[in-house]
């Protein structure tokens, strides 16, 4: 199975964007600023557009030597030979996805604020778990809140890398990192930043 130690630092998640050239430019800046993983996430309905975008981003990640994860779409991950997939509450089960994608695939699981779900993800062979939303976020305005105390509890009880997600920005990420989590997933405050590269660098330096 893929070494889970690669899940650390800044985990960049792409924003919804139709223009591929702009999306690639922004993604490259995030990677150059220190993003250690990239997740292609898009709610665009046109599958051909999504496939084209994901393939281009995967090639960019290959160029920089970082993993590229596909949000939700196991088939897209398989067809494009991406590094792995991130699964939400309504997605396929981890063990079934492992069978489809193989032992080397990185499989992440959204566990929200649910300790038992985190433990189950561990038992089924996930490579990492995502907890949150940590703070209110426009991306998922009705998501349940995961407290800093909850992050510490899961870190103590579940031996998997933890990615904190939801509403993280330069003003609040440090206190989240100090709970001992392994990575922070960021969309809006990274890709909407005036300087994406400098923002990525600042997030990355918080782990050192």
Burial of 174-194, coded b for 16+ CB within 10 Å and e otherwise, reads eebbebebbbbbbbebbbebe
Residue boundaries of the structural domains of the chain: 4-205
Q: What is the DSSP letter of 114?
A: -
Contact 138, 167 (CB under 8 A): no
Q: Which residues are catalytic?
A: 41, 110, 140
Fold that domain 4-205 belongs to in CATH: TIM Barrel (3.20.20)
pLDDT of residue 2: 64
Helix or strand holding residue 111 (H, E): strand 106-112
The string of pLDDT tens digits covering residues 15-70 is 999 999 999 999 999 999 999 999 999 999 999 999 999 999 999 999 999 999 99
The string of pLDDT tens digits covering residues 67-76 is 999 999 999 9
What residues does 94 pair with on adjacent strands? none
pLDDT of residue 1: 52
* Chain centroid offset of residue 92 CA: 17
pTM (2 decimals)?
0.96
Task: Decide if pLDDT at 143 tops 90.
Answer: no
Task: Decide if pLDDT at 135 tops 60.
Answer: yes
Rg of the chain in Å (alpha carbons): 16
């Amino acid at each position: 199975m893929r070494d889970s130690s690669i899940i650390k630092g800044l985990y960049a998640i792409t924003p919804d964007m139709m223009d591929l050239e702009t999306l690639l430019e922004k993604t490259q800046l995030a990677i150059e600023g220190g993003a250690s993983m990239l997740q292609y996430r898009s709610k665009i309905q046109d599958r051909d557009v999504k496939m084209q975008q994901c393939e281009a981003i995967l090639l960019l990640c290959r160029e920089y030597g970082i993993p590229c994860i596909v949000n939700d779409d196991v088939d897209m991950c398989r067809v494009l030979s991406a590094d792995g997939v991130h699964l939400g509450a309504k997605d396929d089960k981890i063990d079934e996805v492992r069978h489809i994608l193989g032992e080397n695939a990185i499989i992440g699981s959204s566990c929200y604020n649910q300790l038992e779900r985190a433990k189950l993800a561990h038992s089924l062979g996930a490579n990492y778990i995502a907890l949150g939303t940590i703070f209110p976020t426009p991306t998922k305005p009705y998501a349940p809140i995961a407290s800093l105390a909850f992050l510490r509890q899961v870190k103590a009880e579940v031996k998997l890398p933890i990615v904190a997600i939801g509403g993280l920005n330069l003003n609040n990420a440090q206190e989240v990192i100090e709970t001992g989590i392994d990575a922070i997933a960021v969309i809006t405050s990274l890709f909407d930043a005036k300087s994406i590269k400098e923002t990525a660098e600042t997030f990355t330096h918080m782990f050192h």
